[in-house]
Structure 1
Amino acid sequence: MTTSPWLAAIATLGTIAAYEGWLVLAQPRTPGRLARTAHASLREDWFAAVSAQPGSEILAVQTLRNSLMSATMTASTAVLGLMGALSLTAPTLHATLGEASAGTADWPHVTPRLAMELVLLCLLFASLVASVMAVRYYNHAGFIGGMPVGAPQRQRWAAAGSAYVRKAGLLYSWGLRQLMLLVPVVAFLLHPLAGVAGAQLVVIALIQFDRYTIEDK
Structure 2
Amino acid sequence: MSGLINPWLALALGLLILLLYEGRVVWIGRRAPHRVARDVHAQMRADWVRALAEKPGFEIVAVQTLRNSLMSATITASTAALCLMGAVTLGGSRLAAGLAGVHAPHDLLPLELLQLLLMGTLFASFVCSTLSMRYYNHVGFAMSLPAGSPQRQAVVGLAVDYIERAGYLYGWSLRSFLSVAPLVVGIVNPVLLPPACVCLVWVLWQFDKPGAITD
TM-score relative to the length of structure 2: 0.92
Moved more, 139-148 or 21-30: 21-30
Partner of residue 148, structure 1 = 146
What amino acid maps onto 1:89 in structure 2? G
The CA distance in 2 between the partners of 1:21 and 1:150, in whole Å, is 41
Where does residue 204 of structure 2 map in the other structure?
206
CA distance in 2, matches of 1:184, 1:212: 24
User: What does residue range 157-168 of structure 1 map to in structure 2 within 5 Å?
Assistant: 157-168=155-166
TM-score by length of 1: 0.91
Matched, 1:82 2:80: no
Give the match for residue 104 of structure 2: 107
- How many Å separate the matches in 1 of 2:140 and 2:177? 26
Quick one: distance in 2 between partners of 1:78 and 1:22?
Answer: 27
Provide the residue aligned with 2:13 in structure 1.
11
Question: In the TM superposition, what is the alpha-carbon distance from 1:173 to its structure 2 partner?
Answer: 0.6
Number of aligned residues: 210
Deviations, residues 7-46 of structure 1 (Å, cap 9, x unaligned): 1111211111111121222221111111010000000011
Identity %: 43
Cα distance in 2, alignment partners of residues 24 and 199 from structure 1: 18
In 1, Cα distance between equivalents of 2:92 and 2:180:
18
Which residue is 1:34 aligned to?
Answer: 36
Output the CA distance in 2 between the equivalents of 1:143 and 1:183.
36
Alpha-carbon RMSD: 1.7
Map residues 18-57 of structure 1 onto 2, 5 A cutoff: 18-57=20-59
Q: Secondary structure at the match of 1:214?
A: coil
- Asked if 2 retains the 8 angstrom alpha-carbon contact of 1:33 and 1:213, the reply is no
Name which of 127, 130, 140 aligns with 1:129.
127
Amino acid in structure 2 at the alignment position of 1:107: A
SS of the residue corresponding to residue 11 of structure 1 reads helix
Aligned pair partner of 2:64 in 62, 66, 71: 62
**In structure 2, C-alpha distance between the alignment counterparts of 1:181 and 1:99, rounded to whole Å:** 28
Q: Take 2:32 and 2:169, find their aligned partners in 1: how far apart are those partners?
A: 21
2:71 partner letter: M
Q: 2:175 & 2:140 partners in 1: Cα distance? A: 24
Q: CA deviation at 1:213?
A: 5.4
Distance in 2 (CA, whole Å) between partners of 1:119 and 1:99 is: 19
Aligned counterparts of 2:51 and 2:209: Cα–Cα separation in 1: 25
